[in-house]
Amino acid sequence: MTNRENCLLAYQHKTPNYIPCFYTDISLIQACPEMERYTGLTSGKDYWGCDWTYEDNIHACLPTPNQYLFTDIGDWKEKLHFPDLDAIDWKKQAEIDTHSDFMAFVMGYGLHPRKDGKSVYDEDKVRVCMVLNGMFERLHACMGFENALMALVEDPDACKEYFHAMALWKSAYFRKIGDYYQMDIINAHDDYGSNDRMFMSPELWRELIKPELALMVEACHKAGMIYQHHSCGYIEPILPDLVEIGVDAIDTLQACNRNLPDLKKKYGDKITFCGGFDNMHVLDVPGISAEAVKKEYRRVIDSLAPGGSYVIYPIGGTFDFVKPFLEEHFAYGIHFYENPANR
């Protein structure tokens, strides 16, 4: 069995020979990354016209404060111009993207071709296309976070129209990825929660976002790919909804979601759990001790990995945790399923 085949077993809600890990078993790309977010290390605009500023401490860009396309949701049709997907030479773009060192970009070294000249297709890893700025994330990139939250409450009808238009565009984007990239998984980002609650009520999320997200999941499946949803923060109340609309995998499932072991037992045969780590007290802490990282690694593996349908997916604001994390992975996690009781 190849590493890629082993990893895909976890995404099929089965028990692989060993626990797949983001750092060792996944090749990550973006399809036309400049479209969804500025890719430089200073500041600039994406294809939507949104302004971004690079933040070195998190190795990523954030929307530039007070540089909004609109502040009234009623203006979105006039002010928001969707990128023309048919204007892109996707065959040429796919050649560039699959040969880019995207992991180096994630770690803050800029976007450039791989030094070895290889592509993601040359690696024995699962191929994941990361799609940033989901429907809600794009909304607050365009109009500011507080304005976006107020819009959900004050003008839900305009928000519904916006979310539907965005879902149709994202679905078309997924089809382009399916046609021109040989990807196994779409990893679509849209954060819905803080460290202790959702940004909006679960009821409002179900009314405005859930039906449109279902369209995107369906489009991904029709394009022949697994749909993995990335959503940082507290999203525990809507996990059953994500299962209902066919989401295949969910990350990062941070530790602020306090009932993950029970949810895994209930839904692990329908959705793959990815992550589960404590960002607040471990992964995002600069200079965190190796001992603390290894202890957190074992806590998560022991509680979420039994029975399979699990992928190690640590996402942190710093990279201080990576070395001890991988040391524990090869010392402990890689052998976890050798014990029949863990399978």
What string of H, E and C letters represents the secondary structure of 288-318?
Answer: CCHHHHHHHHHHHHHHHCCCCCEEECCCCCC
Pairing relationship of beta strands 249-252 and 272-274 according to DSSP bridges: parallel
89 lies in some domain: yes
187 in the same domain as 126: yes
> Going along the chain, which residue ranges are E strands?
26-29, 43-45, 51-55, 60-63, 126-131, 185-189, 226-231, 249-252, 272-274, 310-311
Cβ neighbours for 47, distance < 8 A, ≥ 6 positions apart: 32, 34, 35, 36, 83
126 in the same domain as 195: yes
Share of the chain above pLDDT 90, in %: 92
Q: Quick one: pLDDT at residue 109?
A: 78
Q: State yes or no: pLDDT of 106 exceeds 80.
A: no
Instruction: Report the first-to-last Cα separation within the chain, whole angstroms.
Output: 17
Mean pLDDT score, 116-142: 97
91 in the same domain as 9: no
Q: Quick one: pLDDT at residue 104?
A: 81
Q: Quick one: pLDDT at residue 196?
A: 94
Domain count, the chain: 2
Q: Quick one: pLDDT at residue 250?
A: 98
191 in the same domain as 66: yes
Distance of alpha carbon 264 from its chain centroid, rounded? 19
The tens digit of pLDDT for each residue in 67-101 reads 999 999 999 999 999 999 999 999 999 999 999 99
Average pLDDT of the chain, as a whole number:
96
Peptide bond into 98 cis (omega under 30): no
Q: Quick one: pLDDT at residue 3?
A: 96
Q: Which residues pair with 252 in a beta bridge?
A: 231
151 in the same domain as 290: no
The answer to whether 307 touches 339, Cβ cutoff 8 Å, is no
291 lies in some domain: yes
Q: Quick one: pLDDT at residue 56?
A: 84
Mean pLDDT score, 216-237: 98
How much is the pTM?
0.97
110 lies in some domain: yes
269 lies in some domain: no
86 in the same domain as 8: no
291 in the same domain as 243: no
Mean pLDDT score, 162-172: 98
Q: Quick one: pLDDT at residue 240?
A: 98
Taking the C-alpha atoms of residue 153 and residue 216, their distance in angstroms, rounded to an integer, is: 23
62 in the same domain as 15: no
Write down which residue in 247, 262, 286 finishes a domain: 247
H or E segment to which residue 214 belongs: helix 210-222
146 in the same domain as 187: yes
Q: State yes or no: pLDDT of 111 exceeds 90.
A: no
> Running DSSP on this structure, what letter comes out for residue 166?
H
35 lies in some domain: yes
Number of Cα atoms under 13 Å in the Cβ half of residue 10 = 31
Q: Quick one: pLDDT at residue 107?
A: 75
**Residue 159: which domain range?**
31-247
Helices and strands in the chain, H and E counts = 15, 10
DSSP string for residues in 64-79 = PTT--S-SSGGGHHHH
Q: Quick one: pLDDT at residue 247?
A: 98
143 in the same domain as 115: yes
Q: Quick one: pLDDT at residue 86?
A: 98
258 lies in some domain: no
Considering only the C-alpha atoms of the chain, give the largest distance between any 2 of them, rounded to a whole number of Å.
60
184 in the same domain as 103: yes
54 in the same domain as 4: no
